[in-house]
Structure 1
Amino acid sequence: MKKLFDIIFFKYETNNDFMCVFFPLDTARLRLQVDENRKAKSTPSILAEIIKEEGLLAPYRGWFPVICSLCCSNFVYFYCFHCLKAGWQRGNKSSSSADLIIGMAAGVVNVLVTTPLWVVNTRLKLQGSKFRNADIRPTNYTGIWDAFVQILRDEGLGALWNGTFPSLLLVLNPAIQFMIYEGLKRQLRRGLPRELSSVEFFIIGAVAKAVATIVTYPLQTIQSILRFGQFNESKDKSKLLSSLRSIKCLLVNRVRKYGMAGLFKGLEAKLLQTVLTAALMFLLYEKIASCTFRVMGLNKNVYEKH
């Protein structure tokens, strides 16, 4: 439990650096998710198309707002976590399970507070794109603030929280990832008198993230479509029912048009981005933890049992 919490913290700390490196992969993934008529090709082919049609810097469109949003998201997460933990510790004993629950609660607050930023980021990243779908309406935002103003004016306040429900469900993604990672690590360590190698840590980190990404990818597809805002919204009076029915309609329509593969368009780019990020993150975490314990003269295995 404690290690899960430590890795989630480490993930937040390293996410900004890795996002800078793998940002074009996220661009390719997003294009395939929202542009239904764009044919799914290999990631290099998609990026080559984007560069040819829109310029060399097109894969990095929206980079600065995304990095700013990641910084805000990290701040909200850690601030909420420490506030919730401080309140909990006034009358209760601290424990790993409590840290995990508080961490998930902080994740939910983070989603609710920062979703408007990610809605705006999605719009800015896609602005100026050469879409294959002629029904997509072009936008004309001059920046983050202008995007907020136009969305509020044209679509209403609720539009800034499009995609919130899938985002809340995706809070579980790190738990799925860690469960698989620890299970694979235990299997590999059976009968081995030595520490796992860097390559082995990299591989099991990659496999764990790949499985977690594949399991949750349809939700990520729906999240992107909802944030983009160009879909037929349900007219239910209840916001919850409207959100649930929109998600259901988007899932059903996507499957009807393109089969199950339609829910996984852009998966290759997403896997390349998240798997490489997660594998490097786990590798760095294990190496840093191992070096730290050696310097402190402690046995790492004792720590991992807690």
Structure 2
Amino acid sequence: MSNAIVNGLAGAGAGIVAQIITYPIQTVNTRQQTERIVRKDTPTATQNCNYAKGNTLLQIIQVIRSEGWGGLFSGLKPSLFGTAASQGIYYYFYQIFRNKAEAIAIARRKKGLGDGTLGMLSWLAVAALAGSLNVLLTNPIWVLVTRMQTHTQAERKIVEAKREMILKEASEINSTDLSLVQAKLSELDSIRPRPYGTLDAAREVYEEAGIRGFWKGIIPTLIMVCNPSIQFMIYESLVKRLRAKRAAVKNGSTTVTALEVFFFGALAKLGATVTTYPLLVVKSRLQAKQETGGNVALKYTGTLDAIVKMIRFEGLPAFYKGMSTKIVQSVFAASVLFMVKEELVKACTRLVDKRSKLKLNLVK
């Protein structure tokens, strides 16, 4: 079994573990990113949603109270499939490109050029190539996941818009029939979010924009390829430095422990997340259902349009909504992923070695 396949399978398995552990935080974070609260000084400021207030823990409790535990795990099934596919594809191609880059570096060393190891630019190029292929192949899955995570939030906006319309119409005609208004409001309050599964999300996306709708947010997502690139550059640099330091010690072991991998993975993801977070917010908004409570001015036609309208109507802070939540979720998930992935690779390697030795003994 090639090391590319081993790393691909290990990455998929580790990604699933990390996703299951951190998914509730991810759901709340996606809702934070896609919540649009217009500044009061803009002409389109019509309504605010209480959902965006409070810290992450309070919002998790709020989701459980209003939607049950299932609300925190909306879209988990396609997310797990997407994570397995995404991590598998990424690590498979990452290892292939890394092997080729290392072969080129060794060939250059034989010619007297370089020390035979990969530099930071090489790590960035390898991670960027693997990340671009991953994004192009798996973006439709994440569009569906985002839709499912934010469906209840979008439905709530529709109800709020209808409520405002009823109250506005009642005030404009100076209605004295309070019972009729109350009946309409009670009927509105009785509406519950309809069942919404993967096929419903896929149908909705296709009806809105056809096949190309499944690649919404592809531009900021491709730009965000620099996130794992930065992450892997930091991670590989830290591991390389630690191993070099230990190798310099006589009879020193260059093995990196699971705890050290966890710590380096956390540092790497922290740096990458802080750097690229605004793009993640734009991507989430483009992929979510474009329901803004009737405010057409806040609907986005593309990446540039989204950026301009976010600055105009919400200000720069909109690009950092939910960043603290994302840092907790992504850093912890990345740490778990790196640690589990490395342990799975070690286990697979040991298993392959044992099978090879067993075959040799049988031949003898």
The two structures have a TM-score, normalised by structure 1, of: 0.71
Partners of 1:139 and 1:40 in 2: CA distance: 22
Q: Which stretch has the larger CA shift, 39-48 or 159-168?
A: 39-48
CA contact (8 A) 2:282 2:303 kept: no
Q: In the TM superposition, what is the alpha-carbon distance from 1:7 to its structure 2 partner?
A: 6.8
Whether the aligned pair in 1 keeps the contact of 2:262 and 2:336 (CA below 8 Å) is yes
The answer as to whether partners of 2:224 and 2:276 remain within 8 angstroms in 1 is yes
Structure 2 unaligned segments of length 5 or more: list them: 38-50, 105-121, 163-191, 291-297, 354-364
Query: Which one-letter code corresponds to 2:72 in the other structure?
Result: P
Q: Secondary structure at the residue paired with 1:41?
A: coil
Match of 1:275 among 317, 323, 331: 331
User: In the alignment, what sits opposite 1:55?
Assistant: 68
5+ long unaligned stretches in structure 1: 235-242, 297-306
Alpha-carbon offset, residue 223 of structure 1: 0.5
Aligned residue in 1 for 2:139: 115
Q: CA deviation at 1:186?
A: 5.2
Identity %: 26
Q: How does 1:228-247 map to 2 (within 5 A)?
A: 228-230=288-290, 231-234=298-301, 243-247=302-306
Letter in 2 for 1:30: T
**Alignment partner, residue 225 of structure 1:** 285
Q: Provide the rounded CA distance (Å) in 2 between the counterparts of 1:247 and 1:174.
A: 23
Structure 1 pair 204–5 and aligned structure 2 pair: CA distance change class (3 A)? farther
Partner of 2:102: 96
- Name the residue aligned to 1:300: none
| Match of residue 149, structure 2, among 116, 120, 125 | 125
- Please give the secondary structure, in 2, of the residue aligned with 1:127: helix
- Corresponding residue pairs, total: 274
- Asked whether the 8 Å contact 2:24–2:60 carries over to 1, the reply is yes
What is the SS of the residue equivalent to 2:286? helix
TM-fit CA distance, 1:30 = 0.6
Letter in 2 for 1:96: E
2:260 is aligned with 1:206: no
Note the alpha carbon deviations across 1:213-263, whole angstroms, 9 max, x for none.
1111111111100001415234xxxxxxxx34224324524xx62543x22
Q: Does 1:182 align with 2:239?
A: no
Do 1:159 and 1:229's aligned partners in 2 also have CA atoms closer than 8 Å? no
Amino acid at match of 1:257: E
Q: Distance in 2 between matches of 1:60 and 1:44?
A: 15
**Does the CA contact (< 8 Å) of 1:162 and 1:229 recur in 2?**
no
8 A contact 1:177–1:209 mirrored in 2: yes
1:42 to 48, 55, 79: 55
The one-letter amino acid paired with 2:11 is K
Deviation at 1:196, TM superposition (A): 5.4
Matched, 1:168 2:181: no
Mapped contact 1:163–1:223 kept (Cα < 8 A): yes
Deviations 1:129-176 (A, max 9, x none): 37579469x986743233333332344443332101011112222221
**3-state SS of the aligned residue for 2:202?**
helix
- Which one has a bigger Cα radius of gyration? 2
**Distance change in 2, residues 1:169/1:140 (3 Å):** farther
SS at match of 2:213: helix
Let me know the Cα RMSD of the aligned residues.
4.2
Specify the alignment match of 2:276 in structure 1.
216
- Runs of 4+ with >6 A deviation: 3-9, 97-100
Q: Using the alignment, how far apart are the partners of 1:290 and 1:121 within structure 2?
A: 32
Measured in 2, the distance between the counterparts of 1:155 and 1:223 equals 16
**1: CA distance, partners of 2:234 / 2:103:** 18
